[in-house]
Amino acid sequence: MFCSQAGARPRTWEASPPEHKKWVEVFKACDEDNKGYLSREDFKVAVVMLFGYKPSKIEADSVMSSVDPNTSGIRLKEFLDIVRKKKEAQLYRNEVRHIFTAFDRHYRGYLTLEDFKKAFKQVAPKLSERIILEVFRGIFSS
């Protein structure tokens, strides 16, 4: 999956039915007392189960501050939305990493102007060198 414009993110990403089912199962497994919501600690366990890492205090604070203040935690609908957004961000980061790796032909971890020119000559051979240089400067001068 490649976006048509550099830096463009897909609008939304939808989970497959088996993936959606897995998210619901994780929610239920982490909602030990069948409260109908996940506490802060429950949420951390769910993230470990789904993404393989323990969320930082900042991430947990951010998520908990975004939930409905009339509830004691994250309801299933909110949880599914949070997980979908995290998955979407993960896919975007992977896509960016994949594109960068394709450009980084010498596996140096950075791109030179020559790497950039060669890559663009392959994917857009009619693009002028001036445009390629402007894009390179625009990306790497930020």
Give the pLDDT confidence of 80-116 residue by residue, as tens digits: 999 999 999 988 888 888 888 888 878 888 888 888 8
For residue 5, pLDDT over 80 is answered with no
Express as a percent the part of the chain with pLDDT over 90: 46
What pLDDT, in 10s, does the model give residues 15-34? 898 999 999 999 999 998 99
pLDDT score of 123: 85
84 burial type by CB count under 10 A (0-12 exposed, 13-18 middle, 19+ buried): middle
Name the CATH superfamily, with its identifier, for domain 17-95. Answer: EF-hand (1.10.238.10)
Residues of the chain with CATH 1.10.238.10: 17-95
For residue 78, pLDDT over 80 is answered with yes
137 burial type by CB count under 10 A (0-12 exposed, 13-18 middle, 19+ buried): exposed
Secondary structure class of 134 (helix, strand, coil): helix
| Helix 17-30 and helix 76-103, axial crossing angle in degrees, nearest 10 | 130
